[in-house]
Amino acid sequence: MKKLSSTKYWKQGQEFLGVKYPIISGAMTWISNSELVKAVSDAGGFGVLAAGNMPADIFEEEVKKLKKDKVNFAVNLITIAPNYMNHLKSSINLGVNHIVFAGSFPRKNEIKMAKDSGAKVTCFASTESIAQRMIDYGTDALILEGSEAGGHIGHVSTIVLIQQVLFNFPDIPIFVAGGIASGKMINHLFLMGASGVQMGTIFAMSEESPAHSDFKDRFLRARSREATSTPQYDSSLPVVAVRALKNQGMDNFGKLQLELLDKLKNNKISRIDAQYEVEGYWMGALRKAVVDGDIVSGSLMAGQSVGLVNEIKSVHDIIADVVNEAEVEFAKIGKFYF
């Protein structure tokens, strides 16, 4: 890889994450296991272990494996997952250095628990007000994830979040996510003040990704416009939008919403239980696609950057290529501005 010429722009993210390149491999359930996390770390990036709704004992095994290999990593904890508190307590007890809260927004005392253990805390911010709330709660860093991202998403695009949050909170490390798959974009985000970036889809398609070959092949053939987000049919059943490639699995989710809304209307299910059924659906549908290779009825969670990735490469080559491209771009624009 190239020696970084734009050192000062990489520095804050490097120091916060403790890695050579402040490039985060976003947590993806069924994909971001200890093997992928280690591969990202070995390539100089920052891997994040996806807790999802792992059984507590398996989660602990994954964490211990990474700590044994002396990998610098984070755990991504889904605040709405049934095993969330078990995962948080295990992360604290095992001395995990970085904790990322996701899914919804953590309580102030949960952030305090994590920080009291010595961990650095990162929270997602999908709006300006949420960014301020997470800062007030004590988060050490933010991830701005625009609606272009895959999986569970907010409703505001990356380009707007950059203006609402990145430009207005200069005193905290901010990592940008959603729609990123090139070194050129990474370079310009650094110049705008980002401390680093998070990418998911590109790593889901890596050689080290455990995703089924049919899953990866479908991603290779996908266009950006095929990665669409699910609607919420009625406010009586709040659901977090999910971006995925449109298929039968997406249609089935629509039918599930209608069934659950009917049950809610007739008092046959509580709202909390209905929301758990929604999350259970996505967990199962994602496993179908990622593990079993069912690209018809499984969930093909993908960001719109899927249309920018046209080959399967090793994690090392992915990171090397985007870093080199970022440096070339910096040198090119530097002739005019620096």
The beta strands (E) that lie in 178-274 are given as 196-199, 227-229, 242-245
- 281 - beta bridge partners? none
Q: Left (φ > 0), alpha (ψ -120 to 50) or beta: where does 293 sit? A: left
Task: Report, at the CATH architecture level, how domain 7-211+310-337 is classified.
Answer: Alpha-Beta Barrel (3.20)
pLDDT lower than 70: segments of the chain = 1-6, 335-338
- 142 - beta bridge partners? 123, 174
CB distance 54 to 80 below 8 Å: no
pLDDT attached to residue 126: 87
pLDDT attached to residue 240: 83
CB distance 138 to 111 below 8 Å: yes
What's this model's pTM, rounded to 2 decimal places?
A: 0.93
- 145 - beta bridge partners? 177
For residue range 62-84, list pLDDT tens digits in order: 999 999 999 999 999 999 888 99
What residue ranges do the domains of the chain occupy?
7-211+310-337, 222-290
pLDDT attached to residue 270: 92
Q: What are phi and psi of 50, to 5 degrees?
A: -85, 110
Instruction: Let me know if 297 is exposed, middle or buried by CB neighbors in 10 A (0-12, 13-18, 19+).
Output: middle
Q: Residue 74's closest CA among 110, 47, 42?
A: 47
pLDDT attached to residue 283: 83
